Amino acid sequence: SDGRPRIRLGRRAHRALLVGHVLSAVGWFGLAVTVAFVAVAGGRADDVAHSEVIGSTLWLSIPLGLTAAVTGVALSVTTRWGLVRHWWVVAKEVITVAVIATDVLVVWPEMDRAVDAGTPGTIPGPIYAHCVVLAIATVLSVVKPKARTPLAPPR
């Protein structure tokens, strides 16, 4: 393979895919920041309503994350960046899977328990970690470090 994408998109299709990816990824980051802000405010107020707000907004996180993942993979395989050619793309894939998994396996169940118990409880650490790693994913998308994986074709 010479490093060129096997699947080519027309200019309009590429732009539409890129816009969908940027909107879903930025929306996902914005949601993570909002959830963290509500968690901080709720921790100070010691009010279960904040846990309810976090729990009710999490249903948006999974579809936004999956949309960002699907559009990101589609962009990867239709551009020169590839799915496993550059470490920054691989890092974004790992971040995406980790955030979705911790939302489903840690954050959501913890918030459900807090609401069911009628106590705010402790705020799961991944809420704050999500803001950090999604910000890192955004920086990687902009900077696009040149480091290539061992799976990248020779130049």
Q: What is the pLDDT of residue 43?
A: 66
Q: What is the pLDDT of residue 4?
A: 72
Query: What are the pLDDT digits (tens) for 12-48?
Result: 999 999 999 999 999 999 999 998 888 887 766 666 7
Q: What is the pLDDT of residue 110?
A: 82
What secondary structure does DSSP assign to 98-143, as a single string? Answer: HHHHHIIIIIHHHHHHHHHHTS--PPPTHHHHHHHHHHHHHHHHHH
For residues 76 and 86, the answer to whether their CB atoms sit within 8 Å is: no
Q: What is the pLDDT of residue 39?
A: 80
Query: In angstroms, rounded to a whole number, what is the distance separating the alpha carbons of residues 82 and 66?
Result: 19
Q: Coil, strand, or helix at residue 86?
A: strand
Tell me: pLDDT of 1 over 60: no
Predicted model pTM = 0.86
Query: What are the pLDDT digits (tens) for 54-102?
Result: 777 878 999 999 999 999 999 999 998 999 999 999 999 999 999 999 9
For residues 41 and 51, the answer to whether their CB atoms sit within 8 Å is: no
Q: What is the pLDDT of residue 2?
A: 61
The more confidently predicted of residues 127 and 24 is 24
Query: In angstroms, rounded to a whole number, what is the distance separating the alpha carbons of residues 101 and 152?
Result: 27
Q: Name the phi and psi angles at 122, rounded to 5.
A: -90, 150
